[in-house]
Amino acid sequence: MHRVIDISLTGHAEPFRVHDDAFDLLHQYLDRARTRLADDPDHAEVIGDLERSIGEKLAGRQRTGNAVLDAEDITAVLEEIGAVDAGAAELAAPRSRGRRRLYRIRDGQVWAGVCTGLAAYAELDVKVVRWIFVGLALVTVGLFMLVYVLAMFVLPVVSTRDEYEALVARDEA
Amino acid sequence: MDPAKLNALRKGLLEFLILAIVSSGKVYVADILRRLSTTDFATQEGTLYPLLSKMRREELVDYEWQESASGPPRKYYRLTGTGAAQLAEFRAYWSSLTTLVDELGKNNAPSD
């Protein structure tokens, strides 16, 4: 036995009566849409556009079919509208590069993982980074060590380079 | 040809095709979908709404609300001055591209 739930959609004065499983489907779709549009400054407006359109199509199905909409109705409407593709907008406006963030990486650290983090960030061998660090520290008579200490306090930590790459990939996605 | 190879190209072109469709006068989303439905660029609202809102942010298109007999008011889109300029620029670029592709093909023929 299905529960009947009233759901209101942007632009539609009357709520729609739907079965609970249909409600869940719609809810999941809109949640996914919100996640995908998280970086879109106009996400609220786009969700509004989607809801207006979903409502219009549901109203059409209500007129010709059941007053209470079921999962089949929702599935058909959502398939017609298609998954939200923020990519089309993103591709047209490529994100500025350099969103890679700097972390400290515990795995392979000698002191606090600043060099391992820098190496992952700059995609260099950690040995190279360490020599540069040591060199700069010598040239500046140890003053450069302050940079290391500062970085220790400022940078967030991850435990492995894999974890770092996963974070970067997520940021760039 | 491998459809995946063409997908990226298609995706990038979609915005310009929308500019071209909107240039024909006031259109709403269903008009755009219908014009594209029979082409290689058939798309869905889930793609169109985020793209149109981005194009509005970039001031290429603008919309106004208009009442509809069968539901909530609709957004009717039209081109802005910037949008019209970008479309003209794209058309010029596109024709230079097709010329280029044609000419590159001919380079295989022996030249004298």
In angstroms, rounded to a whole number, what is the distance separating the alpha carbons of residues A21 and A81?
19
pLDDT of residue B80: 96
pLDDT of residue A24: 94
Name residues whose C-beta falls within 8 Å of residue A6's C-beta, 6 or more positions apart in sequence. A15, A16, A17, A18
pLDDT of residue A88: 56
pLDDT of residue B74: 93
Contact A92 B54 (CB under 8 A): yes
pLDDT of residue A95: 44
Contact B46 A52 (CB under 8 A): no
In angstroms, rounded to a whole number, what is the distance separating the alpha carbons of residues B71 and A53?
9
**Token couple for A71:** 């999962």
Contact A91 B11 (CB under 8 A): yes
Global confidence as pTM:
0.66
Number of Cβ atoms within 10 Å of the Cβ of B43? 21
Chain A neighbors of B54, CB-CB under 8 A: 40, 42, 89, 92-93
Report which DSSP code applies to B27.
B
Contact B72 A88 (CB under 8 A): no
Contact A1, A70 (CB under 8 A): no
Among the partner residues A10, A40, A91, nearest to B12 by beta-carbon distance: A91
pLDDT of A171 over the 80 cut: no
pLDDT tens, position by position, B19-38:
999 999 889 999 999 999 99
C-alpha to C-alpha distances, A156 to A104, A112, A173, nearest whole angstrom: 6, 11, 20
Chain A neighbors of B46, CB-CB under 8 A: 33, 50, 81-85
In angstroms, rounded to a whole number, what is the distance separating the alpha carbons of residues A144 and A37?
42
Report which DSSP code applies to A44.
H
The angle formed by the CA atoms of residues B26, B27 and B33, to the nearest 5 degrees, is 165
pLDDT tens, position by position, A65-94:
888 999 999 999 999 999 998 765 555 444
Contact B58, A40 (CB under 8 A): no
Nearest CA in chain B to A12: B72
**Token couple for A80:** 């017609």
Report which DSSP code applies to B44.
-
Number of Cβ atoms within 10 Å of the Cβ of B3? 8
pLDDT of residue A92: 46
pLDDT tens, position by position, A127-160:
888 888 888 888 888 788 888 888 888 888 888 8
Contact B53 A45 (CB under 8 A): yes
Contact B45 A50 (CB under 8 A): yes
The angle formed by the CA atoms of residues A32, B7 and B19, to the nearest 5 degrees, is 80
Among the partner residues A56, A80, A86, nearest to B50 by beta-carbon distance: A86
Among the partner residues B45, B47, B57, nearest to A41 by beta-carbon distance: B57
A125, with CB counted inside 10 A (0-12, 13-18, 19+), is exposed
pLDDT of B65 over the 80 cut: yes
Among the partner residues B43, B50, B70, nearest to A40 by beta-carbon distance: B50
pLDDT of B10 over the 80 cut: yes
Nearest Cα of chain A lies from the Cα of B57 at a distance, in angstroms, of 8
Segment B57-81 mean pLDDT: 93
Contact B51 A92 (CB under 8 A): yes
More confident residue, A109 or A88: A109
pLDDT of residue A173: 56
Contact A52 B56 (CB under 8 A): no
Chain-centroid distance, C-alpha B65:
22
pLDDT of residue A97: 47
B89, with CB counted inside 10 A (0-12, 13-18, 19+), is exposed
